[in-house]
Amino acid sequence: MQARRLAKRSSLGSRRGNAALQPPGPAPAREGALPGLPPPAPAPAPAPAPESWRPPLPPPRSAGTGPPRAAGAAAAAAAASSPVLLLLGEEDEDEEGGSRRRRGLGRVQAKPRGGAEEEDDDEEDEDEEVVVEVVDGDDDDEDGEERFVALGPGRQLPKGPGRGALKVGSIKREMAFTFQPEDLKRDSSKKLSHQHLFPLAMEEDVKTADTKKVNRVLDHEKENTRSICLLEQKRKVVSSNIDVPPARKSSEELDMDKVTAAMVLTSLSTSPLVRSPPVRQNEGLSGSWKEGGGVPSSTSSSGYWSWSAPSDQSNPSTPSPPLSADSFKPFRSPAPPDDGIDEAEASNLLFDEPIPRKRKNSMKVMFKCLWKNCGKVLSTAVGIQKHIRTIHLGRVGESDYSDGEEDFYYTEIKLNTDSVADGLSSLAPVSPSQSLASPPTFPIPDSSRTETPCAKTETKLMTPLSRSAPTTLYLVHTDHAYQATPPVNIPGSAKFTPNGSSFSISWQSPPVTFTGIPVSPTHSHPVGTGEQRQHTHTVLSSPPRGTVSLRKPRGEGKKCRKVYGMENRDMWCTACRWKKACQRFID
């Protein structure tokens, strides 16, 4: 039989009908009688089909994303050798992502959490890193530099965002460089952990830069110098070289510089690149700040959020909340920011999508006013800033403009919002003024959907869906109804529970029942108002496609393949033969 089939296949299946011609019912039986016959030597297995081409894997991401610190040396080395690498890598990834998505299209918008999301994450991660580095002046500096370099001379910037990146890059770069001298200094003395990354960056710099820079490096270390350097360097024409500011300023000046730097950063914060750890509890206004790192934090965060929002739109399908506060992974800022960069003004308010993106861990960030006697908590950075500005700083007129000062007067609070409802409810009251945007952004939680007025954003991923999905599945399967299986399964015995797992039991017969009756009490009939019911309905109908198709849980039981083996493929149930869910041995 098999041989026949094989032959048939090899001959392009022109005669495909043959095997099928045998009456389906008897066939198995007959064959069952045949087993005695030595199975015809299976024809030489057809050469395995050549593997379908796959998009090349993106270049090792390690350089860009991975744990920056750990990856450190290797990654940095790679980067150093060819700064462009990173950039290219990014692009490649993008492309790949695109293709992946494209490929995925056919497949029910495959699970949103799939590659696309990951990729997004990655990307953003990278960006985040960059940001972080700016703030901290840490390891990531090189990153920024690399990017800059690559962008500048090497290639033409394809589009707006690129340009923006460039811009930012340069700035960043300056900052980064400023740090370097210090790093060198520290290198000898401190040996900070993050330092090992630097050498690379420095190396590169050294290549281009004069040795005198090194000398300068030896100067006493002032963290504040950074800011100064930044300012000074801006003047310098040299793009590739890093010059250390020759002059040092008095401590007082340094403070000033700090402030200045802070302001600069703040203003720059619009750029997605600037980032800082999300949750930073700096009660001590002065104490906790470190080298200006803290300064932009709040502002940047707001900026960040706002940026992230657009990204969401781009990938509506992926809920992916990248930021995990726990891991303290640097934030991802969507590289794409085509829109934003140009308007680097303090237009935070514009986007101010206050709403921190929903995080995986269901953490929500709130902003608390630290002003004495004012414990006001708002959900958005912008909101809190505004609040501080107007209420405490008394800057009524310039409400729009933020010089960053407000940042000192509020802190971020992480809230654990396990239940969406909580988050929403708390949200609403707290920041009535700006919260409007927030609700839509938190679609994830189940409860939210009912509460949120705005239906469009609602994801259909909610539990209901999952439950409903099985139902749908049922239908689908019913449709298929592979007739072949002679042995009918115990329809009656199988009891149908709403749960996906058990539903599988009864494919064949009863599904119909189900279709009519929504399985889960939650969604099902009785409860909903007309509207709600409708909603449910929609969910039911659409989900199969949009949602992660609930794949039928894999049956543990024996399957035709197992039972009969490949040799007796003919004995398989049709479904099995067709690579469909086995109907004979249903689990």
| Footprint on this chain of DNA (rule: CB under 7 A) | 5, 9, 13, 16, 19-20, 24, 49, 51-52, 103, 106-108, 110-111, 114, 476-477, 479, 481, 483-484, 544, 549, 551-555, 558-559, 561-562, 574, 576-582, 587
Minimum CB separation from DNA for residue 509, in Å?
A: 16
Minimum CB separation from DNA for residue 111, in Å?
A: 5
CB-nearer residue toward DNA: 528 or 553: 553
Instruction: Judge contact between 120 and 187, C-beta under 8 A.
Output: no
Distance of alpha carbon 456 from alpha carbon 400, whole angstroms = 30
Whose CA is closest to 73, among 139, 1, 148? Answer: 139
Minimum CB separation from DNA for residue 519, in Å?
A: 17
CB-nearer residue toward DNA: 87 or 575: 575
CB-nearer residue toward DNA: 110 or 273: 110
CB-nearer residue toward DNA: 247 or 476: 476
Residues forming a β-bridge with 414: 365
Residues forming a β-bridge with 166: none
Minimum CB separation from DNA for residue 480, in Å?
A: 7
Instruction: Judge contact between 569 and 2, C-beta under 8 A.
Output: yes
CB-nearer residue toward DNA: 13 or 154: 13
Distance of alpha carbon 126 from alpha carbon 95, whole angstroms = 16
Widest CA span in the chain? 99
CB-nearer residue toward DNA: 37 or 47: 47
CB-nearer residue toward DNA: 302 or 574: 574
Whose CA is closest to 566, among 580, 555, 577? Answer: 577
What is the DSSP code string of 273-320?
T----S-----SHHHH--TTTSHHHHHHHHHHHHHHHHHHHH-TT---
Minimum CB separation from DNA for residue 479, in Å?
A: 7
Minimum CB separation from DNA for residue 312, in Å?
A: 22
What does the block give as tokens for 312? 């969401």
Kindly provide the b/e burial profile for residues 378-403, where b requires at least 16 CB atoms within 10 angstroms of the residue's own CB. bbbbbbbbbbbbeebbebeeeeeebb
C-alpha distance across the termini of the chain, in Å: 28
Minimum CB separation from DNA for residue 257, in Å?
A: 52
